[in-house]
Structure 1
Amino acid sequence: MTRCPEREKVQLLLDGDLSAAEAHAFRVHLEGCDACGAEARAYSFLFGTLGALRVQDPGPVFTERILDRVLPSRLRRRIVTAVGWAYTAVSAISTYLFVSWIARAETHVWLAGRLGQAYLSVVQAGLFVVHSLMFSWLRLLHGWEVAGAMMERLAPLVRALALPLSQPAIASVLVSATLACAAVFWWMRPRRGAPGEVRHVALLGF
């Protein structure tokens, strides 16, 4: 069977999307077109059957389940609320148990013993620090004493070396020798000579 080009207007007619003139013209077309008429009758029967069915109400529970799956924020809000209530309950129970435990006489004795041990540990740690500082200070003093003893032993040698330098003649000779050595080293420095000039042979290997 050849497909009618006007067949697309069947649903438009049933949905009421055609204007009055277009609807009248298409109804006239249905009277002469078997294909469009059969499809229009089939759709009319289908729509009538569906319209006669009773709509089932799923109830609010089903709606809430659908919304929880579609909207994650609702589910998160419920989880946060549940966690908050659980935290509140656990906090209340923990507080009650702690108050009950702290009110017992045995707890006071146990706490006193623990506090005494802690105080003793703190005192021992403080004494250890003080002893360590005193020991370090004594070692430092001992080091200064050793240095002083060495200086006392080296004092005669220092005086023996300083005695010749106190003589003007010896001091002038040492200064002159130092200047002469500096002049010799300056003369022995590496330098460029003129072409063909024989360079001096440096004693230091320059």
Structure 2
Amino acid sequence: MSDFRKQGDCPTSQELLAFQTGDMSVADGHHIRVHIRSCDFCAAEAEFYEHYPINDEAHEVVSSPAIPEPLFELAEAILSKKEPSRTLDRLIKEIDSVSR
């Protein structure tokens, strides 16, 4: 049974990705091509990158929405074990006003 895993002499995933995208020298590319011929694991990983290329859109940063002030105050009160009743009342009123 074959040992289907990355070995010590295998190129890194970043190197295999650079190989697939053409972002490496010809000499390094040749070294990886030779390695892939004898390593099923790296061949499969390189083929994966070929079929599922990483694009810049996948790395977009999505900003988190702001936490409503009453919810923030409630969380702060709960975490600091303060009396949250006024904060909770404000949050309930805000939710009621938005849901109408």
TM-score, normalised via structure 1 length: 0.21
Larger radius of gyration: 1
Higher RCO (C-alpha under 8 Å, 6+ residues apart): 2
TM-score, normalised via structure 2 length: 0.42
